[in-house]
Structure 1
């Protein structure tokens, strides 16, 4: 396949109306289009539409993939839910872009990897990523920080990291999917997480959320319920979570902001420590395997010692079959007998008997070759 491009758009807050559907259908005759989604794949040519304009006018999320290594997710949120100034703290070149589009804020998160091998079976679906939109709307800035991390190279001298959000060490499922999608280096993420405060426990948040909803004025509750009935349920949920977040976010101590170079150095140290720990674990596992093999070998030798003559008779029977697989079994048994003779100080007796066996079967080239390889 010389070329592959994938376009997906999703309407989350409200479905497209008939006029909007007609407009997007005019952009492609091959796309799968519904009131809430637009999906098309290209194996040649390209999409005639403008994704930026489609996000401004119709959709809340856009996913793009190409087999030359480009991955992009775009999200549209009401500007009342995420301030442009806040999002701009996390912008990095063409990798993280935030812009105003009327009453909306559009965020584009991009990852490029021209040297990587494309594996279509490992592509992250929209369903795994769309959760970050509601997280951002509710005031969780971890997705933006993850995108900033992904766009850290090449570093700008002295560039400072944005404010570190809580919970980087305990990402949500959508945030883990975004980490994979944007190819965030795991060691860099671990280094960044070192100054990230612990998030509140989910049970504590749920309890305070229930108390907050209970205290809302009746008129406000009625207004929200009417909007839900009027097919604005998703928007109402995000607005309520954002209002709750703004009212209850604790004042966390601000950690000292690190430069990109400091983060990269910390990631390098973390990578070295991780590799050393992995090497130590492998060494311990290998030592345990060697110990287990040695114990099993001693048990085999103990069993052979109880009836060594039966083992020699078994070897003769195996060789008599003239089958390669049986030759292998005979050589394995001879190897154990050799080890037994060394353990018990009877190497001479084994040597004489093995030489007699070689002489008796000198014309069996395949067997002799196996004996030579085994050092018998």
Structure 2
């Protein structure tokens, strides 16, 4: 199996300066490098740089995947937009790592080669599919983090992990809108290999997504009621460029206006409960799919039988013409014509059996066999349908 690795980095909040570009170019002579983007494909060898360090110091997003199954998406956000403490509630070794560095929160979405399976290049990605996750997280949409936690459960189930872990592990806070993911979130589901039935089971405990429209008067009243210290902190962050206060304020406003959902009231589910629910869904879905396939096969069989009956009814009106057509087809001495002749012969035999006729078919077919015994290809077809020698 040939080797393939894909590396991409994006600088979104601040472009690289000339010194930064020179530093990165020293790590790869063949990469496509600009002040905002680095991309390279490796068919042999490895990238000489440290992707984690590059994101901690220079870039805001990194994408990596290899054809042996390893996948990684690394995002950096200002800590004022998303704290490591908030994100850590969703961290799981198998899918999401979280840490802080230099005023930023770093999120490491990853799948190991054992869990990822061999990569299908028809579904390869670029970072453009995922950068929207940063804005969503900054606005308080924590669905990407919950999806990573589900990816960890998917890996557990595939590995048939200790069931005691399933009983001890309790789901993190369930964000709204799991049943209606954004495009970037759907790409993350595919990238991390989140089980579709597990996601559907988890979505049962998720409130509907919050509408994008905002009541301006209600928002103004909410901001007016914030403590002065909170407002001052947001303005300082905005002045220093360490965070954008707009998404954060909207996130706080929506959180305050949200009505508690079923999971908030009934308590969070364990991993075991979610995996059991996913298993029931999977079993039911597969049963329905099998029933649908069986019904489709039966419908096709009925249609074929009806078509044959109609064909036999027409054939019964002039069997003499059918025998002459068989002679004409055999005279062509072509494989396709032989096949067509055999189809007509099969219908003639079926017609005789249906009408309870004599053994006229065996006699006439035997005469055909005797007359054309020098045609081995035709004889093989006659053998296949059991036409006896005369």
Q: Scaled by the length of structure 1, what TM-score is found?
A: 0.87
Verify: 1:7 aligned to 2:16, yes or no. no
State the partner residue of 2:16. 16
State the distance in 2 between where 1:339 and 1:113 align.
57
Equivalent-residue separation in structure 1 for 2:22 and 2:217 (angstroms): 43
Q: Secondary structure at the match of 1:98?
A: strand
Inter-CA distance 43–322: structure 2 relative to 1 (3 Å threshold): closer
Do the aligned residues in 1 keep the contact of 2:94 with 2:111 (CA within 8 Å)? no
Per-residue deviation, 1:318: 0.7
Compare 115-124 and 288-297 and name the one that shifted more.
115-124
Considering only aligned residues, what root-mean-square deviation do their CA atoms show, in Å? 2.7
From 213, 223, 228, the counterpart of 1:206: 213
Structure 1 residue runs without a partner (length 5+): none
CA 1:277–1:180: 2 relative to 1, 3 Å:
same
**1:150 paired to 2:151:** yes
**What secondary structure does 2:114 align onto?**
coil
CA shift, 1:214, in A, is: 11
Between the aligned partners of 1:196 and 1:351, the Cα distance in structure 2 is 71
Cα deviations by residue, 1:283-306 (Å, 9 ceiling, x for unpaired): 111111111111111111111112
Question: TM-score, normalization: structure 2?
Answer: 0.84
Once the two structures are superposed, what CA deviation does each residue of 1:255-302 show, in whole Å capped at 9, x if it has no partner?
A: 432222222222222221111111000011111111111111111111
Secondary structure of the structure 2 residue equivalent to 1:76: strand
d(CA) in 2 for partners of 1:130, 1:358: 72
Cross-structure match for 2:205: 195
Q: 1:283 aligns with which of 284, 287, 294?
A: 294
Cα distance change, pair 69–81 in 1 and its aligned pair in 2 (3 A): same
Q: Tell me the number of residue pairs that the alignment of Structure 1 and Structure 2 aligns.
A: 363
* CA 1:249–1:103: 2 relative to 1, 3 Å: farther
Q: 1:242 to 1:341 in 2, by over 3 A?
A: same
CA distance in 2, matches of 1:210, 1:38: 44
Contact 2:16–2:58 under 8 Å retained in 1: yes
Quote the Cα distance in structure 1 between the aligned partners of 2:383 and 2:221: 85
1:108-127 to structure 2, matched below 5 A, reads 108-114=108-114, 116-127=117-128
With 2-11 and 63-72 compared, the bigger mean Cα shift is at 2-11
CA distances 1:127-146 after superposition (whole Å, capped 9, x unpaired):
11121111111111111111
How has the CA–CA distance of structure 1 residues 151 and 341 changed in structure 2, closer, same or farther, with 3 Å as cutoff?
Answer: same
